[in-house]
Amino acid sequence: MLKTKTCKKMAAVLFCAVCVSSIGLARRPVEYSYNFGAIPISCSIYAEQAGLAGIHGNDSMGKVISVLGQPGYRSSGSTPVYTYDGVSIKFIDWGGDGRYTVCKIETNQKGTASTVDGISVGMPESVLSEVYGTADEVKIEKNMAPKLPEKEMQVYRQRVDEMVTVYTYNVSAANSMSFTVKKGFITRIVVNVYD
C-alpha cells in the first residue's frame, strides 16, 4: 500500500514538472535589443513563437500557399494581402526584387487560427501570462465619448466606451506579436515584421 501511494505521489510530481517545463519552454530569458532610435526594448519570445496558423514573419508567398493552400481572396498592389478563413496575411517586397515575404499576420475571428503555443481568439487574457510571461509592452486604450446630451451619452457608453488592452511580446526590434483583449478575452492577434 505504501509503495502505491509513493508511486502515485511520484507520478503527480512528474506530471507537474512536465507541465511546468512545457510552459517554461515557451518562455525566453528577456534579452534587450535597440530600435532605430537607439532606444532599448525588451524581447521575451523566440522567433518560432511569433507565428499564426503555421505562418511566420518573413515566410515567402510560396510557403504560405504550401501551408494554407490558395487564399479565398487575394489583393494586388505593392503590399498584396491573402485572406484565408479568418486570417489575413500581408506581404511586402523589402528588396524590390519581386520576392515578397510576410510582414503581417492577423486574425480577429474565434476558432480560426492559433499561435504556435496554442493561443487563439476567444481565450481568456490569463493564458498570455501563463504561456508567455510578462508582456514587453502593455498599452491600454479607452474610447472616450464626445460631448453628448446625457441620455445619448449613456447609449454611446453602452455601445462604445470600453477599455481595450494590447499586450505585445517582442522577438527583436523588428518583429513582435500582440494580443488585443476586451472584457478579459483575446479579440485579436497580430504578428508584425518591420524592415
Per the CB < 8 A criterion, the answer to whether 88 and 106 are in contact is: yes
Instruction: List pLDDT tens digits, range 121-167.
Output: 999 999 999 999 999 999 998 766 667 787 887 777 776 667 899 99
For the chain, what percentages of helix, strand and coil (3-state, to nearest 5) are there? 25, 35, 35
What's the pLDDT score for residue 22? 40
**Sequence spans of domains, the chain:** 2-193
Take residue 101 and report the three cell numbers written for it.
Answer: 515575404
pLDDT at 7 over 60: no
Compute how many other C-beta atoms are within 10 angstroms of the C-beta atom of residue 64: 23
Q: Which of 39-43, 109-113, 184-188 has the lowest mean pLDDT?
A: 39-43
Q: What SS3 state is found at 142?
A: strand
As a whole number of angstroms, the distance between CA 56 and CA 64 comes to 9
**pTM greater than 0.85 (yes/no):** no
